[in-house]
Structure formats: C-alpha cells, structure tokens
A = this chain, B = another copy of it.
Amino acid sequence: MEAHSQEILFHIRKNIKPTPEEERFFISLLNPAKLKQGEFIEKTGEVTYNFIHVTSGCLMTYYTDKEGNDQVIQFATAGWWTGDLHSLTTQQPSIYTTRALADSEILQLPKVRMEELLDRYPIFERYFRIMFQNSLVTHQKRIIEAFSVTAEARYHNFQKRYPHLEQFVPLKYIASYLGITPEFLSKIRRKKTA
C-alpha cells in the first residue's frame, strides 16, 4: 500500500474504525493524480464526477460571478476533501472552479464508486456524515464572522487559524477568501507591520 493510502486512512481512522476489508475496498476505489501548480481539476460549467481528497499540496475552490469576480470558498490542504458537492450530487454543471495552488497530490473518488461504497459499507456513511457535520459548524462560524467582524479582524483570525497558508498563497486569493479587495488587504497589512 502506498504513502497516499496511508495518509487518507490516517484521517479516516480519526473518525471511524473500519475493518481491514473495508479499508482495502475503500482504497481500491480511489484514483490518484498529481497536479502541477496552477492546474485546474474542476471547471465552472462542467459536471463534477469526483469527490477529491488532498494528499499533499494545496487546492483552492472559487466561484466566479457574472462580472468575472472570483470569490474563494475554500483552501484545501493535506487531509481535506474538496470539490463541488452540489454538482457532484445533482450532476448539474458546477458553479465552482478548483485548481492547484502548489504542486499537489490528490485521490479522486468517483461519484458512482462512492455510492457503491456507501451501499456496501454504511460505516462510510458515518464517516461522511461526520465530515459534513464538522464542515457545517465551520461554515456557520464563517458566516457569523463575515457579518459581524471587520476585515482587519478577519485577516488576523485567518493568520492564526491557517498560519502555514500565508506562506505560499498569493495575497489576492487570501483577500478573496476574506471577502475584500487585494488593495484593502494591502492597507491592512501596512497598518500591522508599521
């Protein structure tokens, strides 16, 4: 079994305790892939066929509105799942784009394989239930923050929460994630450094 598989099993075992057979089957469904920095894995307008697990590197998912402005929804580093859940579920064209911010390794779980998995071994229903539940809690907090905290405070919280990301994520994407313009983020940073 490869390093890839060990990585994802490590994350899964934090939440559920599958049998060796369940683990083996799960791993057998995954398609590994490597992405170069800047490479796209899912594009707006296309249907999403895979749920994506990040083994190494970093991916970002963003929404592009009619005016062409990008809004970053998520940065996904090792151990995270990413992609467009809505498109994956409904097989409608995706409203998001996902691309690699750094050279990355991913594992792709195709929708139909995922359904097979869940039908055969319901313990994985529990796994994804817990993942989504935790993610929901995080999303709720982000909504609160968006509405009740200034951009400056949001940036400082971001730095505390994801210290490693600031190292290599271009500031304009961090600005987008925080819901502000790159210019304003620059002004916030000047203030702090001064």
Interface residues of A (CB under 8 A from B): 63, 65, 69, 71, 73, 85-86, 89, 118, 122-123, 125-126, 128-129, 132-137, 139-140, 142-144, 146-148, 179
> How many angstroms between the C-alpha atoms of A101 and B98 in the bound complex?
40
Closest B residue to A137 using CB positions: B86
Whether the Cβ atoms of A85 and B147 lie closer than 8 Å is: no
Count this chain's copies in the assembly.
2
> How many angstroms between the C-alpha atoms of A65 and B148 in the bound complex?
8
Q: Report the minimal beta-carbon distance from A32 to chain B, rounded to whole angstroms.
A: 24
In the complex, 14 of the A-B residue pairs with CB atoms within 8 angstroms, ordered by the A residue number, are A63-B144, A63-B148, A65-B148, A71-B144, A71-B147, A71-B148, A85-B136, A85-B137, A122-B122, A122-B123, A125-B126, A125-B129, A139-B143, A147-B179
Known: A126-B118, A136-B136. A144 touches B86 (CB 8 A): no
Q: Report the minimal beta-carbon distance from A173 to chain B, rounded to whole angstroms.
A: 13
Q: Report the minimal beta-carbon distance from A66 to chain B, rounded to whole angstroms.
A: 10
> How many angstroms between the C-alpha atoms of A137 and B142 in the bound complex?
14
